[in-house]
Amino acid sequence: MTLAAIIRPEAADTEAGSEEPADTRTTAQAGAGSGQVMPAPKSRQSIASMLPRLRDAAIAGLALLLGVVFWQIATERDLQYIVNFSNVPGPLEVYEAFLANITDPVFHTHLLVSVKRVALSFALATAVGVPVGLLMGRLRLFRAMAMPYVEILRPIPAVAWIPLAILMWPTEESSIVYITFLGAVFPIVLNAMHGAEQTPEVLVRAVRSLGGSGLSIFWHVVLPAALPSIAAGLAIGMGVAWFSLLAGEIISGQYGIGYFTWDAYSMVRTPDIVVGMLMIGLLGSLSTNLVHRAMRPLLRWREKAR
């Protein structure tokens, strides 16, 4: 055993054979453990790694196409087997209605208004839900106080809130945002709470022994430990925000994609109903995807875990 090995044990790891030898490290960092220097295999590898994803996308596309074909046949033949398709607009009709709407500035306003409402409500739900959830996860007293509210209020559907929301809030706009906010906030709170509960106690102790306390424990340990769970809660909250928004918009307002859909129903513009529904589905899934993407850089460390 040399002195160098004592001071820098990784020099001795080669002897011990238990850890990565020092001299292969640089090549390992370059991404080729075998010492490959040619760049060609690297790009081939990235194409190869994309193949499964391309295949999945192709399968998804085919599945959707199959659904549309079934839809077309069902409406064309006026299929009546348990479900009645005779009054349902076919895909072509819906497509035409979509083309007509997509060039209509009023339709754009409907979309924009809804997106803005969801964005505002979701931002508020995040700002309130994450801290409240984290505190509930870590502080017994706070949890005991807040839990009954969460348990009683959470199962109340957005539609049930409509009358009270109208009475409580000064403007129609604020009652819609309130209803949407309520939908999003509970999954965010509960997931943040569960995340915070899972904080490993040894990490809290480690940071305390490094001189941390109170807020710094929250910032360096509790929040990051809860982050995977928070991300899941935000994604669920975003989905719930959309269907709560719809409830709010159906009753009140003169703009919004929910209002558009409801209006199409009262005016018996059936293709527009389906356009509205599909837009909601599309916006909902796009925004959920956006949440996932926004959280990904914060969760990069998890990809390193084996």
Partner 1 sequence: MNVATTHTLFRQHGTPRRSTEEGRIDIEDVSVVFGSGPAAHTAVERTSLAIPPGEFVCLLGPSGCGKSSLLNAIAGHVRPTTGAVRVDGVAVTGPGSDRGMVFQQYSLLPWKTIRENVALGPRLAGKSRGEADATAGTFLNIVGLSLYANRYPAELSGGMQQRVGIARALANYPSVLLMDEPFGALDAQTRLVMQENLLAIWKEFGTTVVFVTHDVDEAIFLADRVLVMSAAPGRVISDIRVPLPRPRRPEMATEPGFVETKRQCLAVIREQSLRAFENQER
Assess 63 for contact with partner 1 (CB under 8 A): no
Which lies closer to partner 1 via its Cβ, residue 81 or residue 301?
A: 301
Q: Beta strand pairing status for 83-84 and 80-81?
A: antiparallel
Assess 296 for contact with partner 1 (CB under 8 A): no
Assess 208 for contact with partner 1 (CB under 8 A): yes
Minimum distance of partner 1 from residue 131's CB (angstroms): 19
Gap between the Cα atoms of 82 and 35, Å rounded = 64
CB contact at 8 A, 248 and 280 = no
Binding span for partner 1 by CB under 8 A among 99-107, 110-118, 205-213, 257-265:
205-213
Which lies closer to partner 1 via its Cβ, residue 88 or residue 217?
A: 217
Assess 202 for contact with partner 1 (CB under 8 A): yes
Site residue total, partner 1 (CB under 8 A): 41
The DSSP result for 96-158, as a single string, is HHHHHHHT-HHHHHHHHHHHHHHHHHHHHHHHHHHHHHHHHHH-HHHHHHHHHHHHHHTTS-H
Assess 220 for contact with partner 1 (CB under 8 A): yes
Q: From the list 15, 56, 78, 151, which residue makes contact with partner 1 (rule: CB under 8 A)?
A: 15
Assess 3 for contact with partner 1 (CB under 8 A): yes
Minimum distance of partner 1 from residue 9's CB (angstroms): 5
The DSSP result for 238-302, as a single string, is HHHHHHHHHHHHHHS-S-SHHHHHHHHHHTT-HHHHHHHHHHHHHHHHHHHHHHHHHHGGGGHHH
Assess 27 for contact with partner 1 (CB under 8 A): no
Minimum distance of partner 1 from residue 306's CB (angstroms): 6
Q: From the list 21, 24, 25, 69, which residue makes contact with partner 1 (rule: CB under 8 A)?
A: 25
CB contact at 8 A, 125 and 188 = yes
CA of 199: how far to CAs of 22, 77, 79, 232, in Å?
34, 58, 55, 16
Minimum distance of partner 1 from residue 23's CB (angstroms): 11
Minimum distance of partner 1 from residue 69's CB (angstroms): 47
Task: Please give the single-letter amino acid code of residue 204.
Answer: V
Gap between the Cα atoms of 126 and 136, Å rounded = 15
Gap between the Cα atoms of 124 and 181, Å rounded = 7
Could you say which residues in the range 222-251 bind partner 1, by CB under 8 A?
224-225, 227
Gap between the Cα atoms of 247 and 259, Å rounded = 9
Assess 19 for contact with partner 1 (CB under 8 A): yes
CB contact at 8 A, 189 and 132 = yes
Minimum distance of partner 1 from residue 36's CB (angstroms): 20
Task: Give start and end residues of each alpha helix (H) in 77-104.
Answer: 91-102
Gap between the Cα atoms of 20 and 52, Å rounded = 31
Assess 216 for contact with partner 1 (CB under 8 A): yes
Which lies closer to partner 1 via its Cβ, residue 137 or residue 276?
A: 137
Minimum distance of partner 1 from residue 27's CB (angstroms): 13
Binding site for partner 1 (CB under 8 A): 1, 3-13, 15-20, 22, 25, 202-203, 205-212, 216, 220-221, 224-225, 227, 301-302, 304-306
